[in-house]
């Protein structure tokens, strides 16, 4: 193993902070355009948090495929990651609110059915 390979094997994860939450860049790999899901080649950067952010433990940021230096990559991951994390948090909050409303509606519907049954003497 040469010196460069040894240095690369020492770096397992790169710390990143998004919206005040500590995480790591866990993996980076290329994804080729397939004409269906991906129109262009991209760099897929996987981020994992030390603790769940709302209900999110990890997610990926897709960047244009090109060579990046460390600072440029970290800056892009931070800006795109924060944008995506905000969207994920908002989507999760909306879904929780909708589930709560559905649960309240179900409880109301069940209570009406229980009242009807009770008025008819059905147990």
Q: For tokens 């559905």, what's the residue?
A: 102
Contact 40, 62 (CB under 8 A): no
Q: What is the pLDDT along the chain (123 residues), one digit of tens a residue?
A: 455 554 545 557 899 999 999 999 999 999 999 888 888 999 999 999 999 998 899 999 999 999 999 999 999 999 999 999 999 999 999 999 999 999 999 999 999 999 999 999 998
- Where in the chain are the domains? 3-120
DSSP state of 20: T
Contact 86, 61 (CB under 8 A): no
Rounded Cα–Cα distance for residues 52 and 28 (Å): 21
């Amino acid at each position: 193993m040469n010196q460069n390979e040894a240095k690369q094997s020492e770096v397992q994860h790169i710390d990143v902070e998004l919206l005040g939450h500590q995480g790591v860049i866990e993996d980076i790999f290329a994804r080729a355009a397939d004409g269906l899901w991906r129109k262009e080649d991209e760099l897929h950067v996987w981020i994992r948090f030390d603790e769940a952010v709302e209900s999110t433990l990890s997610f990926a940021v897709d960047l244009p495929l090109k060579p990046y230096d460390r600072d440029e990559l970290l800056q892009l991951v931070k800006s795109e990651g924060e944008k995506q994390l905000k969207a994920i948090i908002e989507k999760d909050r909306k879904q929780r609110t909708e589930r709560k409303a559905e649960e309240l509606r179900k409880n109301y519907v069940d209570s009406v059915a229980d009242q009807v049954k009770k008025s008819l003497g059905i147990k």
